[in-house]
Structure 1
Amino acid sequence: MNYRLDESNHPPQIQGMETLLLLLGMGIFAGALTTLSGIGGGMLLLLVLSLVWSPAEALACTAPALLLGNLHRLFLFRRSVAWSTIAGFAAAAVPGSVVGGLLVSAAPPALTRWLLVSMTLLAIARALGWIQLRPRAWAMVPAGGLIGALNGAVGGAGLLVAPLLLTVGLSGEAYVASVSACAVAMHLGRIIGYGAGGLFTSHLAQLSLVTAAAILGGNFIGRRLRTLSSRIKGNRLEYATLVACVGLALLGIGH
């Protein structure tokens, strides 16, 4: 099943002021959440949009917006990036994401929705300690290729990048900055894959720019709120985000 988007036949759900308000609100929230916790905002944004659009449209719209959002976050924390740690991962994530993005153009929507659920449940299992990610230095390159492919196919693989970087000792602004750098590589790759697979239309590109502007605003808000995040004990913010993602993913199955 070839899932190319038809420029002349947009679903009614992606028309009107309601869509702009949704993109602005969710974009601001996603940017603030990711700047606070390092993860989660992009996955929430993707899952919400997949409820009103097809999964392929949601993936295509969020990719450029999340790329710009992560580029902006990377610029804000550019002095803190642990390049020596993430270089191999980021280099492998680009071609991996291209492959995953190409697969989306041929995947049935139902399969993509189930993959979204599986990715979210995998992130929950990791957060609860049921799956341990303790990579050796040499494993960062194959991990980049695999996680990049998952990100291209279903999005949200930043939820796996984050614990990977935590296990190699990153924390604080170095952690947030390095997650953003890895995300830039993955989003760049999946944009190439989606473009080659025919998923982009000019209308979705315009909506993606609106979303990107909202994410940039959310980044600024999140940076100002970072002092509050230290008052949240343990991983409560991450767990709350993952629980919300599971609920949205399961809701999408029945949508």
Structure 2
Amino acid sequence: MGLLLVFLAAVLAFGVSTVSGGGAGLLLLPVLGRVVPTSNVPAALTVGTAVSTLSKLALFWRHIAWAVTRRFVPGAVPGVLLGAYLLKYLNPLYLEVLIGLFLLSNLPAAFKRSQPADEAATSERAGWLKLSIIGFLAGFLSGLTGAVGLLFNKFYFRYGLSRDEVIATRAANEVLLHGIKLLLYLYLGLLTGPAWRAGAVVAVAALLATAGAKRLVKYLSESLFQRIGYGAMALSGLFMLASAGQELRTTENLRATTHIFGGDLEITGWWRSGSVTLELEIDDSPAIEQPVIFAELPPPAQAEVQRVQQGRPLIKLEEVWKLNDHYYEAYFNEKGRIKSVNIRE
């Protein structure tokens, strides 16, 4: 059932990808995350997207903007090597949250009037250094997550490439990176059986979707193509944020809660076994609080807590930071009501 879901999602994602200039990988990240382990998702995705990239090269070869590719690839190769290496040490979910926010920020561009290609080309042509830096970033992020090509769609649009040139040039820029990533994932032991199976399903779906969508591309105007591209970026960002947020909530206990405590509004953020609280008081400045235990207090603060306790049950202790101020706060149960006392060293 899981692989069937991957197949259906991949057909839709690669169909959208072909008519929007990319984004299938980002749309598939949440789906693959439910079928294979998180660390194997980039590997499974790369298997499928590599096949899709090769099919796009075959279909759009004559539209490749080689001037861009010659500058893009030399920076991308070391980037993808570094990204794939760090995959074993970094959790890509946090990176997906940042990427998702950036992609979602492109939503307004989907409703703006597109800049003419020749005008964009005149104003946004980049030199060797800028293209190499963009290539390095694309390779690095791709090595960590498996697919971020859509992240750089804005660059291709502003560089003045036509719709066919965007599809072809992106494929030319990424085909070598996919090959390098596959070798690295294989070496790092990330191309497991489930990753190969999911990747093969994605590959078959990619071939079918790309061939079918190729006929549709020629009917799209340059303006509509760009609008669809920006819309796909925003949609991918929304998918990534929802998926990464749910995964972080499950694996890292990342969550937030709000409640009224002692008459003040407290917003608490949880991560793993720790938490940080933002307290909003009606008649005072905001404060950042973190729970502490009595043994962690400095000796003077411990003595002060014992002095003011006066036999009342101690509910909790917090370390408090305010603008130009730092102290501890002790909460006591005083005849069924919560009483707080500021403790200073």
Taking structure 1 as the reference length, what is the TM-score of the superposition? 0.80
1 CA distance for matches of 2:71 and 2:144?
A: 21
CA gap 1:85/1:233 in 2 versus in 1, 3 angstroms: closer
User: Displacement, 1:229?
Assistant: 4.7
Unaligned 5+ segments in structure 2 are: 110-123, 251-345
Matches within 5 A, 1:100-139: 100-107=83-90, 111-126=91-106, 128=108, 136-138=126-128, 139=130
User: Displacement, 1:189?
Assistant: 2.7
Unaligned 5+ segments in structure 1 are: 1-17
CA gap 1:54/1:60 in 2 versus in 1, 3 angstroms: same
2 CA distance for matches of 1:147 and 1:171?
A: 20
CA contact (8 A) 1:42 1:66 kept: yes
CA gap 1:176/1:254 in 2 versus in 1, 3 angstroms: same
CA gap 1:252/1:51 in 2 versus in 1, 3 angstroms: farther
Count of paired positions? 231
1 CA distance for matches of 2:194 and 2:35?
A: 16
CA contact (8 A) 1:101 1:192 kept: no
Residue-by-residue CA offset, 1:49-108 (whole Å, 9 max, x unaligned): 12443321111111111111111111110110101122221232123112211211233x
**Does the residue aligned with 2:33 lie in a helix, a strand or coil?**
helix
Give the equivalent residue in structure 1 for 2:164. 173
Amino acid at match of 2:127: A
Give the equivalent residue in structure 2 for 1:201. 192
User: Displacement, 1:25?
Assistant: 0.8
Residue-by-residue CA offset, 1:113-166 (whole Å, 9 max, x unaligned): 11111112122335557xxxx573121112211220111012332122222222
Taking structure 2 as the reference length, what is the TM-score of the superposition? 0.61
Give the equivalent residue in structure 2 for 1:150. 141
CA contact (8 A) 2:43 2:182 kept: yes
Determine which structure has greater relative contact order: mean sequence separation of CA pairs < 8 Å that are 6+ residues apart, divided by chain length: 1
Amino acid at match of 1:188: G
Structure with bigger strand share is 2
Structure with bigger helix share is 1
Give the equivalent residue in structure 1 for 2:150. 159
Instruction: Give the RMSD, CA atoms, in angstroms.
Output: 2.4
**Does the residue aligned with 1:198 lie in a helix, a strand or coil?**
coil
2 CA distance for matches of 1:185 and 1:163?
A: 22
Bigger Cα Rg = 2
Give the equivalent residue in structure 1 for 2:246. 251
